[in-house]
Structure 1
């Protein structure tokens, strides 16, 4: 599985969030840091699709810390808004890059977008891997084949 093949597959997952009161800032909109939490929820759903969520990562001998993240805020969300958070695989060869889109579930308006980059490090000595472990690519490939 290379990055071009992965992009063509467009493997994505979504989760839904209803904005709770405690996610708001003093201006009564979602505090900017909470979008990271919404990204995380969508990322976990995506990883569950390929049977490689955080417990499976650790069991395979790797941690996958986030080393880079970008968010672009487009429009604020407010208390009670229903959001759809979509995570999509973009790269898997040397790193794991996932793109995100958060939209208002009812209107479809884009509220926030961004990406995260994760790299594999061994669980025993935290050595960063220069290429993604085969288990990630195998799980993505297996999922893609099951969807056809």
Structure 2
């Protein structure tokens, strides 16, 4: 399996949230930094789905810090809005790239989109790996066999 064949599989997960008051800024819309939190929650759902969540990563000898993150804000979310954040695995060979879309759960209206990129570093020395460790590919293949 490689990045090209991954595109056909569309490995994705969803995170649902209702916007709490404490996520708002003085304009009474979701503060821009909170979308990062929504991305993180969806990413954790995706990693759990392939059985390679953060504790599993550490146990396998690697941390996966985020090295790049992009967000594009389309429309604001407001207090009480029900949101869905969709995370889709896009790359895994040299980095873990996940794309996101935050939308209104009921209308499907797009509010924010973006991506994160993570690379493997060893737990003991923090040495960056130029290719993803075999454990990630194995976890993805194991997940795909269950489909």
Same fold by TM-score, threshold 0.5 exceeded?
Answer: yes
Q: How many residue pairs were aligned?
A: 147
Q: 3-state DSSP class of the match of 2:32?
A: coil
- The alpha-carbon deviation at position 48 of structure 1 amounts to 0.1
Unaligned ranges ≥5, structure 1: none
RMSD: 0.4
- The alpha-carbon deviation at position 145 of structure 1 amounts to 1.1
Partner residue of 1:138?
Answer: 138
Counterparts of residues 72-111 of structure 1 (less than 5 Å): 72-111=72-111
Partner residue of 2:22?
Answer: 22
Partner residue of 2:42?
Answer: 42
Structure-1 separation of matches of 2:37 and 2:69: 12
Q: 3-state DSSP class of the match of 2:29?
A: coil
- The alpha-carbon deviation at position 111 of structure 1 amounts to 0.3
TM-score by length of 2: 0.99
Partner residue of 2:119?
Answer: 119
- The alpha-carbon deviation at position 7 of structure 1 amounts to 1.2
Structure-2 separation of matches of 1:22 and 1:113: 22
Structure-2 separation of matches of 1:108 and 1:82: 10
Structure-2 separation of matches of 1:127 and 1:53: 20
Structure-1 separation of matches of 2:20 and 2:5: 38
TM-score by length of 1: 0.99
Structure-2 separation of matches of 1:26 and 1:102: 21
Partner residue of 1:54?
Answer: 54
Q: Does 1:9 align with 2:9?
A: yes
Unaligned ranges ≥5, structure 2: none
- The alpha-carbon deviation at position 20 of structure 1 amounts to 0.3
Structure-1 separation of matches of 2:67 and 2:125: 17
Structure-2 separation of matches of 1:91 and 1:5: 10
Structure-1 separation of matches of 2:17 and 2:4: 31
Partner residue of 1:31?
Answer: 31
Structure-2 separation of matches of 1:87 and 1:135: 21
